[in-house]
Chain A
Amino acid sequence: MASGDVWILGITMTKFGKHPETDSVGLAAQAARGALKDGGVSMRDIGILAAGNLMGGGALGQQLQKQIGQTGIPVYNVANACATGATALRTAVMAIKAGEVDMGLAVGVEKLSGAGLLGVGGPKKQGDTWEPSGRQGAIMGLDGRVNTDNMPGTFAQIGMEYGHKYGGVSFELFARISEKNHMHSTLNPLAAYTKAMSVEQIMNDVMIAYPNTRPMCSANCDGAAAAVVVSDEKLKTLSDDQRKRAVRIKASILTTDPYEVGCQILPNVNTLTRNAAKQAYEQAGVGPEDLDLVELHDCFATAELVHYDNLMLCKEGNAVDFFSSGAAHRTGSTPVNVSGGLQSKGHPIAATGIANVWEICHHLRGEAGDRQIEGAKVGLAHVIGLGSACGVHILEKAAA
């Protein structure tokens, strides 16, 4: 073990779906206590808490301490759009790398059931006479009058833009990507939806923003996930069983979108993902061909396609061929979103960036049951939040 590495000692996720009887703090507590138990440690061992949540008012960490243990440790309340969970995890990792603590806890939670379409805003309140305001001198809300602010529509354009650049995309192709993820979710008891859907069912479902129909959009739901991370030095002092189940964090990367022509017109989710992937592969000393499985941010079916390319799972411009060859299916060469992905497992925003790491760890530990990817040794988890922020973690099974 190289000194300076950080490991995942314990990790868990709650069932994603509807949790009407439990509040955000309660879900976060469930996940946090689960992660501590999974790692065989207690709040007494934890030196820092990073708490991710977008919808809850910004003080989740301290509220959570009241439920799981107030030990006076530093708390970081983290918000970074859909990359919030990954950012919370990375915050705990950085505290360990900085040498401040030897063990940290990262939590992400969201309650979104019934939230409807995200990013749909009403028009500005109209006064008696037109008054230009804001940085575009707009006299009324521009959503729907100058393109769309809604997420399904934004990501639809991102997928179509890929098609314009490289060719080969179609409504049916995107529906097939969704079919794959819904099929994968039938093996995941913690997924919000666990029903297989045919391509026809997916295409004939409610159209949200062409070419994304409802099942091709991430499922708004409730859920939480948490991880205990530990330093190399500290791990050496723990039990054989703890060491065997520990998962090495080979890379922990966070990027934002650099300036490019048009990035202010249509968010560019490509370059920052490619940059994060490049840095992650370099830090980890592995290449895309070494990955046994990938959990990527399929907030919409149209997004999954472009990230095959951005994460360099295929040659530039070849995402359509990559998918059509079956490579991304759980039986393929690079299984993608065997959890069911955001489209079927669900997307409780701040939980997502830890839940996808949990999925990878589950396989690396050989504990994924029916959906186990046999012999998985290395996996990659990716999230992206519009605005934008991208988190990539590469994880490796502990040496036997």
Chain B
Amino acid sequence: MSTADTATRIPLVDYLALEPEPHLVANECTSCGARYFDHRDACASCFEAEFTRVDVATEGEVTAFTIVSYAPPGVEAPFVAAIVDCAGTPVRANLVDIEPTPDKVTLGMKVRLVTHSIGTDSAGTEAIGFGFAPA
């Protein structure tokens, strides 16, 4: 992927890294190893305040899900919201590339991280979102 391409894309959240392959990046407490996807002033577990960026596994297992019938404006419904355990790091996400019905979505199913376009702004920058698809 060229630098020019990279410049025209922006991730939905700063913990989604697009290069070299899309993956999530957590802020890991250097003292106790607790992982956060948001910026913390200090660690909620051990109160220390040093964090390091760590890559999160891109494959995981669905440990909880719901199929939401009503979505906020701009989001298609129904959609599947799920918790995915990525090698010990739980992640919030939607399940994608799957029919949003209880017979298709199952607890324990194996999934992998995928990305998709969610729109382009006036400067031509494409926003990239993420979800998990059946592995």
- Chain B residue numbers with a CB within 8 Å of A143 are 72, 75
Is B115 part of the binding interface, using a Cβ–Cβ cutoff of 8 Å? no
Query: Which residues does chain A contribute within 8 Å of B108, judged by CB atoms?
Result: 164
CB distance from B80 to the nearest CB of A (A): 9
- Interface-facing stretch out of A8-16, A88-96, A205-213, A360-368: A205-213
B81/A148 in contact, CB under 8 A? yes
In chain B, what residue has the closest Cβ to A137?
B14
Structural contact, B12 and A140, CB atoms closer than 8 A = yes
- Our pick among B62, B63, B102, B129 for the contact of A145 (Cβ within 8 Å) is B129
Which of the residues B64, B69, B91, B92 comes within 8 Å of A158, measured between beta carbons? B64
Of the stretches A99-107, A123-131, A193-201, A230-238, the one at the interface is A123-131
Contact A265 B66 (CB under 8 A): no
Best-surrounded residue of B81, B118, B130 (most CB of chain A within 10 A): B81
Distance between Cα atoms of A253 and B37 in the complex (Å): 32
A262 to B82, CA, bound (A): 13
B68 at the A interface (CB under 8 A): yes
Measured in the bound complex, the distance between the Cα atoms of B79 and A143 in whole Å is: 11
In the complex, A137 Cα to B39 Cα: how many Å?
9
What residues of A have a CB within 8 angstroms of the CB of B83 in the complex?
Answer: 147, 157, 161, 262, 265-266
Is B93 a contact of A147 with CB atoms below 8 Å? yes
Interface residues of B in 63-103 (CB under 8 A from A): 63-75, 77, 79, 81-83, 88, 90-94, 102
Instruction: Say whether A208 contacts B123, CB under 8 Å.
Output: no
Q: In the bound complex, what is the Cα–Cα distance between A145 and B44 (angstroms)?
A: 26
Cα distance A132–B93 when bound, in Å?
19
Q: Interface residues of A toward B: which range? A: 35 or more
Q: Which residue on B lies nearest to A143, using beta carbons?
A: B72
The answer to whether A147 and B92 touch (CB under 8 A), given A157-B81, A164-B107, A211-B102, is: yes
B69 lies within 8 A of A207 (CB): yes
Closest to A262 in B: B90
Question: Quick check: is B51 within 8 A (CB to CB) of the other chain?
Answer: no
Find out whether the CB atom of B12 lies under 8 angstroms from the CB atom of A264.
no
**With A139-B127, A259-B45 in contact, do A146 and B92 touch (Cβ < 8 Å)?**
yes
Residue B3 lies at the interface, judged by CB distance under 8 Å to chain A:
no
Q: Chain A nearest CB: distance from B120 CB in Å?
A: 9
* Nearest chain B residue, comparing its CB with the CB of A121: B72
> Is A271 in the interface zone, CB < 8 Å from B?
no
Which parts of A221-271 form the interface with B (CB within 8 Å)? 259, 261-262, 264-266
The answer to whether A136 touches B15 (Cβ under 8 A) is yes
Is B125 engaged at the interface, CB distance under 8 Å to the other chain?
yes
Q: A136-B14, A164-B108, A259-B34 are in contact. Are A210 and B66 (CB under 8 A)?
A: yes
**Cβ A130 vs Cβ B107 within 8 A:** no
CB distance from A157 to the nearest CB of B (A): 4
A171–B101 Cα distance when bound, in Å, is 12
Question: Could you say which residues of chain B place their CB within 8 Å of the CB of A129?
Answer: 121-123, 125
The distance in angstroms between the C-alpha atoms of A132 and B69, with both chains bound, is 28
Distance A143 CA – B13 CA, assembled complex (angstroms): 12
B5 to chain A, nearest CB (A): 16
Is A6 at the interface (CB under 8 A from chain B)? no
User: Using Cβ atoms and an 8 Å threshold, which residues of chain A touch B133?
Assistant: none
Q: Are A157 and B94 in contact (CB under 8 A)?
A: no
B72 in complex: contacting residue of A123, A152, A262, CB < 8 Å = A123
Q: Which of A128, A156, A211 has the most CB of B within 10 A?
A: A156
15 more contacts with CB within 8 A, not counting A140-B118, A142-B13, A211-B102, are: A135-B39, A137-B13, A139-B10, A140-B74, A145-B75, A146-B12, A147-B83, A148-B66, A153-B68, A154-B66, A157-B65, A157-B82, A210-B68, A264-B36, A266-B90
Q: Which residues in A have some Cβ–Cβ distance to B below 8 Å?
A: 117, 120-123, 128-130, 132, 134-148, 150, 152-154, 156-158, 160-161, 163-164, 171, 206-212, 259, 261-262, 264-266
Closest 4 CB pairs of A and B: A137-B14, A144-B75, A156-B66, A161-B64
Can you report 6 residue pairs joining A to B where beta carbons are below 8 Å apart?
A: A144-B75, A148-B79, A208-B69, A211-B66, A261-B35, A266-B64
